[in-house]
Structure 1
């Protein structure tokens, strides 16, 4: 995948996580359990903390008419209260969000310390602060944003430090907010994303050049390969780092930070998981390469272990990365807490449901460390013979002599007896059986066969024997034991020895020692006729 494609994929994933984060945030429960009145379904006036929490919750959901019920609008004419209340609620929500005022910082008492007014925020450029006041109205006193705060709401909104960009944008680019972002922020955000990708690309080029020089000085190919493998994750991390710097300049509101912050953490989690995947691959390959230079038998064992450990770490890395990403959303976190609360029942159910899957996983790990077979071993099982080509967590791939692939589930492989021809070494002994006539000169034939085998390039010199092992009704069975360095060489050696013995029998005394059927004539028992007998 090219560098541009990798950066495009990272950008697409990050933007999709932004949308998911905002949807998850929209589904979050309110910070407090609110006691509501019938005419104000989401506003709780009982304490300063509950008032602010309900006001921010209504503003977060875009219910400005409901949020306006948290304001003291008695000084506003009745015919203007709806419009003034909505605008003042928007201004106050922007101020509180930008200044990151949390409800938990306020007292949760009807009259905290006997006070009937609580100042929760004061901007240095505006004389009037944001004040909550307990007012008389209705059946019981209620906490509301004071009338002076409502009058000063436009000035408070103008006094907010919106950063070098937001402070220079016209007012019509500040309303309305979509996904907690103002219009000018929606315009600047894609530009910031492209700038972050461009800066990350240039920084990657510079750091890659420095890394290559550093690797050449160290004369270590592992360092060079490490920087090459981690190029994609490095670019993603650099993009996120520059995007974080640009976000400081843009000065997002608290609601936007709640959404984008989760997406930002999710992006870093994906980048780290991506880097971990490539790092595991590189280390596994490095281990296999070092083992291959020492010993062929040991290399196969190390290759098998490295392959299984690599797959286990890949699975663990993916699971952890997905878990960290999903836990950024409160909806998923609450599901996790519920599952933990019922961990006993859930564990039993999941254990029963995933019994086969977990059994295959542990069987694969057992196979990799006990190693009854390894990658490259030649085994015989259920009438088939082949070479172990691949060992996964759940199955083994056996390459047969005719290029077919036999897939063996690991539990079945561990339960079924099989022959491993290369368990302790690749050398192997084979048998060549040839039926011959009873009159065959075995001494002369033995000398010729032994001479031929010893001169054969595939004979390893370990085992050679020419013997008669059976006598049938019409033939004797000649067995030739030979050995070779591996099974492939043995098969070719067996074929050559079989052909040579047959050739010798064909040329020796005109082929009279080949297996044959004899017909002999003899007198009948009564002496009148002759009878043919088979021998």
Structure 2
């Protein structure tokens, strides 16, 4: 009977102790979070409730399973398994705590600073730092787990002796991976591109959606995801429309007939922009920027607070201006000119008017006949 009750008491006591302590810590964090609304740290720390309870349970059971006389034939294996669980759950808890601290710090920074560009830069750096911490903790946890096996401890000396050769071989084999890793750190702290930036890469317009230590994801306007190595952004040119400020200037070109009413178009552009909610009111303008033998190029200019609004402004101006020209001034639209060219008003060089009132070329009189 004792052989049955003792394991039940030890295991059951460990479970009860874990649940009670975990519940008490969660209640303390909840009440602290309710009193301190200015910081989300205490609420974020509650995400570590499960790994904390797992660490507590593994530690209590690891220290008391000898008294429980549980699986005496497999004492070593059970102890090693509990040690592995303890190491893994401890690493999980450390990652959750580090994530909570980092996210709370970023939330406080984003609340204080109103500059969107600076906030995006800090968010990019914070996310990459968080990934680096997670990777370091994971590697250390795996190394600690491996060292619990006697065979791995015995092989440690030989591994250290050959570390130089292995490092050279690994460096050559993982050259592209290492270059992407350093490129990711350069992007994070060099402020080249940030999360939420509007970029144009290989002719594709999109928003930076994710940045890791090895790759970067751009979300295009049609919800596609373009994934590329971060080394691309350190070795090739790209357009960053959000660099410095998110405000943008948009341009719409019209190819029209030379008779197009430019002044009326300028007044119409002003009316269109006044009714467009995406226009920020900073600047606008309309001017003839080029001419060809058949048409002239008219440029309409407007501003907006970001890339999304400038797209709305451009399509609105283009659509309403073409509709207005078609309805009010159809002669201003480009067309193929098949009429005779207009001639000077005098009759010099033998040019006279034809029967329809147009000027035609007539050979000069010679005085004969």
**TM-score category of the 2 structures, normalised to the smaller one:** 0.7 to 0.9
Match of 1:362 among 174, 177, 182: 182
* 8 Å CA contact 1:377, 1:423 repeated in 2: yes
- TM-score, normalized by length of structure 2? 0.82
1:247 maps onto 2:65 in alignment: yes
In the alignment, what sits opposite 1:197? 15
In the alignment, what sits opposite 1:384? 204
Q: Secondary structure at the match of 1:481?
A: strand
Match of 1:283 among 101, 111, 114: 101
CA distance in 1, matches of 2:60, 2:33: 26
CA distance in 1, matches of 2:203, 2:241: 14
In the alignment, what sits opposite 1:335? 155
In the alignment, what sits opposite 1:520? 339
CA distance in 2, matches of 1:354, 1:317: 21
1:475 maps onto 2:295 in alignment: yes
Gap change, CA 1:518 and 1:256, over 3 Å in 2:
closer
1:405: how far off?
Answer: 1.1
1:497: how far off?
Answer: 1.2
In the alignment, what sits opposite 1:236? 54
CA distance in 2, matches of 1:455, 1:267: 64
1:320 maps onto 2:143 in alignment: no
In the alignment, what sits opposite 2:126? 306
In the alignment, what sits opposite 2:347? none
1:353 maps onto 2:173 in alignment: yes
* 8 Å CA contact 2:294, 2:337 repeated in 1: no
Gap change, CA 1:448 and 1:321, over 3 Å in 2:
same
CA distance in 1, matches of 2:336, 2:148: 87
CA distance in 2, matches of 1:501, 1:385: 25
Gap change, CA 1:515 and 1:469, over 3 Å in 2:
same
Match of 2:306 among 486, 491, 496: 486
CA deviation profile, 1:284-303 (whole Å, cap 9, x unmatched): 32233223323222221111
In the alignment, what sits opposite 2:362? none
CA distance in 2, matches of 1:450, 1:475: 23
In the alignment, what sits opposite 1:135? none
Q: Secondary structure at the match of 1:463?
A: strand
1:266: how far off?
Answer: 3.0
Instruction: Give runs of aligned pairs for residues 33-182 of structure 1, distance below 5 A.
Output: none
Gap change, CA 1:210 and 1:495, over 3 Å in 2:
closer
CA distance in 2, matches of 1:501, 1:219: 51
CA distance in 2, matches of 1:470, 1:223: 59
CA distance in 2, matches of 1:193, 1:259: 17
1:402: how far off?
Answer: 1.2
Instruction: Give runs of aligned pairs for residues 452-467 of structure 1, distance below 5 A.
Output: 452-467=272-287
CA distance in 2, matches of 1:287, 1:492: 35
After TM superposition, the structure 1 stretch with the greater mean CA deviation from structure 2, 497-506 or 407-416, is 497-506
Gap change, CA 1:212 and 1:437, over 3 Å in 2:
closer
The unaligned stretches of length 5 or more in structure 1 are 1-167, 170-183, 523-529, 531-535
Report which of the two structures shows the higher radius of gyration computed on alpha carbons. Answer: 1
Gap change, CA 1:472 and 1:337, over 3 Å in 2:
same
The unaligned stretches of length 5 or more in structure 2 are 342-354, 356-369
- TM-score, normalized by length of structure 1? 0.58
Gap change, CA 1:206 and 1:446, over 3 Å in 2:
closer
CA distance in 1, matches of 2:66, 2:32: 33
In the alignment, what sits opposite 1:434? 254
Gap change, CA 1:252 and 1:517, over 3 Å in 2:
closer
1:443: how far off?
Answer: 2.6
* 8 Å CA contact 2:216, 2:229 repeated in 1: yes
Gap change, CA 1:459 and 1:252, over 3 Å in 2:
closer
Instruction: Give runs of aligned pairs for residues 12-31 of structure 1, distance below 5 A.
Output: none
1:389: how far off?
Answer: 0.8
1:461: how far off?
Answer: 2.5
* 8 Å CA contact 1:287, 1:306 repeated in 2: no
CA distance in 2, matches of 1:203, 1:397: 42
Number of residues of Structure 1 aligned to a counterpart in Structure 2: 344
CA distance in 2, matches of 1:218, 1:472: 68
Q: Could you say what the CA RMSD is over the residues aligned between the two structures, in angstroms?
A: 3.2
Gap change, CA 1:493 and 1:223, over 3 Å in 2:
closer
CA distance in 1, matches of 2:59, 2:276: 67
CA distance in 2, matches of 1:490, 1:226: 37
CA distance in 2, matches of 1:358, 1:190: 52
* 8 Å CA contact 2:30, 2:43 repeated in 1: no
* 8 Å CA contact 2:210, 2:216 repeated in 1: yes
Gap change, CA 1:497 and 1:195, over 3 Å in 2:
same
